[in-house]
């Protein structure tokens, strides 16, 4: 089945929709847990399914280095290799390569980098990023883009944005070649793979507008906004998102990469974003930072040592149904691996449940009310700060 996206209804700029992929349907707006190395850290796939995850993200950089894209292709692709039959989105690997700082050289050709594992050298070009994702066989592949550090000058952001457009053209050309017929050396494990373009341009709206126009001209199944949530003031990010969404086709999905907090999800859905991914719920969980309907909790805090209440009385996840704050604190303090698993399950359940409530609110056209209530219910507060 080929990729398609349908907007079912709207409430203001917020959209309720769904996309079809070769591995099933995803309800939008959606949050994608990050499965860096073919697994969402500290979870089993069945926990993700129970929490309501409809799509996960895989990191091309990590999978390329270990176990290798060709090994995964020989196993029939990423879905079969990891035993996850629902949709997967892969990034291009660019974000990790750019964050290597001392270990990479960027030219118009692509990014040459050294593996953080063993120092071996790789060249990631737009064509190669497309080939790797074809071998992985994700349902949605991303173009290779240049990820600019914040802050950047207008001149630097312009040069980077121009390079990203050239790379996007090369990625699209390569995907069409792969779809047109066999290309020597490249196994296509998912012929229905879609490809998303990425709008760059830093915090400069003229550059974002130019990037959006050029990316839409190339033509992709969906459009992402990259280079945000990298340290810019939050109001600036929301402003860029709001303006950029207006430059994208209304019938294509919009994906805000790498954001964010529960607040970001609500605020960017309000601006017309359909898809999110972020390591925050999983990474914070492993550090004992938990999101609840009453605010954030740091489970290490001594005040929970004899607290017999559930982590979040409004959450129906396994962790909250079975365990007290006192027990979760004990597991964390004792360094038990199960602490990471139970905490991750809860944080992901919180995120995915928030998305479900957002979708319900859009369906009932009560999203404005939901948004107000969400911020009133201490979502911004940390109970332990
Ligand atoms: Zn829970």
Reported as a single tens digit per residue, the pLDDT across 319-353 is: 999 999 999 999 999 999 999 999 999 999 999 99
Query: Is 383 a residue whose pLDDT tops 70?
Result: no
Q: For residue 322, how far is its CA from the centre of ligand 1 (angstroms)?
A: 9
Angle formed by the axes of helices 325-333 and 337-363, to 10°?
130
**Percentage of the chain surpassing pLDDT 70?**
98
Q: Which of 145, 277, 312, 353 is catalytic?
A: 277
Coil/strand/helix, residue 6: strand
Across the range 155-174, mean pLDDT stands at 97
Contacts of 261 (CB under 8 A, 6+ apart): 278, 280
Q: If you measure from the C-alpha of residue 370 to the centroid of ligand 1, how many angstroms do you get, rounded to a whole number? A: 20
Is pLDDT at 101 greater than 80 in this prediction?
A: no
pLDDT confidence of residue 127: 98
Assess whether pLDDT exceeds 80 at residue 97: yes
Q: How far is the CA of 317 from the centre of ligand 1 (A)?
A: 4
Which residue from 316, 199, 181, 321 is spatially nearest to 254, judged by alpha carbons?
199
Separation of alpha carbons 312 and 321, rounded Å: 9
pLDDT reading at 382 higher than 70: no
196 and 142 Cβ atoms separated by less than 8 Å: yes
The residues near 226 (Cβ < 8 Å, ≥ 6 apart) are: 95, 145, 147, 198, 199, 200, 257, 258
Q: Whole-angstrom Cα distance, residue 282 to residue 244?
A: 28
**pLDDT tens digits for range 26-40:** 999 999 999 999 999
What pLDDT, on the 0 to 100 scale, is given for residue 148?
A: 87
pLDDT in tens, 107-162: 999 999 999 999 999 999 999 999 999 999 999 999 999 988 889 999 999 999 99
Q: How far apart are CA 133 and CA 115, in angstroms?
A: 18
In the predicted structure, residue 295 carries a pLDDT above the cut 60: yes
Whether pLDDT at 55 is above 90: yes
Query: What's residue 147's pLDDT?
Result: 87
Crossing angle of helices 234-245/262-269, nearest 10°? 30
pLDDT category at 183 given cuts 50, 70, 90 is very high
Mean pLDDT of the chain: 96
The two three-digit tokens of residue 284, written as one number: 């914070």
pLDDT digits (tens, 9 = 90+) for 6-27: 999 999 999 999 999 999 999 9
Question: Is residue 91 annotated as part of the catalytic site, yes or no?
Answer: yes
In the reported structure, the alpha carbon of residue 270 is separated from the centroid of ligand 1 by a whole-number distance in angstroms of 25
Q: Say how many Å lie between the CA of residue 315 and the centre of ligand 1.
A: 4
- Centre of ligand 1 from the C-alpha of residue 320, in Å: 4
Q: What pLDDT, on a 0 to 100 scale, did the predictor assign at position 377?
A: 81
CA distance 311 to 293: 10
**Measured over all CA atoms, what is the biggest interatomic distance in the chain, rounded to whole angstroms?**
64
- pTM attached to this predicted model: 0.97
Q: Is position 251 annotated as part of the catalytic site? A: no
Ligand 1 centre and the CA of 288: distance in Å?
13
pLDDT reading at 385 higher than 90: no
State the DSSP code for 310: B
Residue 194 has pLDDT above 90, yes or no: yes
Residue 45: other Cβ atoms inside 10 A: 17
Q: Can you tell me whether residue 26 is helix, strand or coil?
A: strand
Phi, psi (rounded to 5 degrees) for 324: -90, 165
pLDDT average, residue stretch 62-68: 97
Cα 276 to averaged position of ligand 1 atoms, centre (Å): 20
pLDDT at 103: 87
User: Which residue in 11, 47, 69, 91 is the catalytic one?
Assistant: 91
Q: What's the gap in Å between 319 CA and the centre of ligand 1?
A: 5
Q: What is the pLDDT of residue 102?
A: 81
Q: Is the pLDDT of residue 381 over 80?
A: no
pLDDT tier for residue 299 given thresholds of 50, 70 and 90: very high
DSSP state of 324: B
Res. 378: pLDDT tops 90: no
């Amino acid at each position: 089945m080929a990729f398609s996206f349908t907007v079912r209804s709207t409430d203001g700029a917020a959209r309720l929709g769904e996309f079809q992929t070769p591995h099933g349907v995803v309800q939008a707006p959606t949050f994608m847990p990050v499965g860096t190395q073919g697994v969402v850290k500290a979870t089993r796939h069945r926990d993700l399914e129970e929490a309501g995850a409809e799509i996960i993200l895989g990191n091309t950089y990590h999978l390329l280095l270990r176990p290798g894209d060709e090994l995964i292709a020989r196993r029939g692709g990423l879905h079969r290799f990891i035993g996850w039959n629902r949709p997967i989105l892969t990034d291009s690997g660019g974000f990790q390569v750019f964050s290597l700082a001392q270990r990479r050289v960027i030219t118009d050709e692509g990014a040459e980098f050294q593996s953080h594992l063993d120092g071996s050298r790789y060249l990631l070009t737009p064509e190669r990023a497309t080939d790797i994702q074809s071998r992985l066989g994700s349902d949605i592949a991303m173009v290779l883009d240049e990820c600019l550090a914040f802050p950047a000058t207008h001149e630097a952001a312009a040069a980077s944005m121009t390079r990203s457009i050239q790379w996007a053209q090369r990625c699209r050309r390569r995907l069409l070649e792969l779809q047109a017929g066999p290309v020597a050396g490249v196994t296509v494990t998912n012929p229905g793979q879609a490809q998303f373009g990425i709008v760059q341009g830093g915090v400069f709206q003229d550059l974002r507008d130019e990037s959006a126009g050029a990316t839409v001209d190339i033509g992709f199944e969906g459009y992402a906004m990259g280079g945000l949530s990298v340290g810019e003031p939050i109001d600036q990010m929301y402003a860029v998102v709001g303006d950029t969404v207006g430059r994208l086709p209304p019938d294509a999905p919009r994906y805000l990469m790498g954001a964010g907090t529960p607040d970001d999800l609500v605020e960017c859905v309000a601006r017309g974003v359909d898809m999110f991914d972020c390591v925050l719920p999983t990474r914070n969980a492993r550090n004992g930072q938990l999101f609840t309907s009453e605010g954030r909790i740091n489970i290490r805090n001594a005040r929970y040592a004899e607290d017999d209440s559930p982590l979040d009385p409004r959450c129906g996840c396994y962790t909250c149904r079975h365990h007290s704050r006192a027990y979760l604190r004990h597991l964390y303090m004792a360094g038990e691996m199960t602490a990471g698993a139970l905490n991750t399950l809860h944080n992901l359940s919180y995120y995915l449940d928030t998305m479900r409530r957002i979708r319900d609110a859009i369906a009932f056209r009560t999203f404005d009310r939901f948004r107000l209530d969400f911020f009133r219910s201490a979502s911004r507060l940390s109970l332990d700060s």
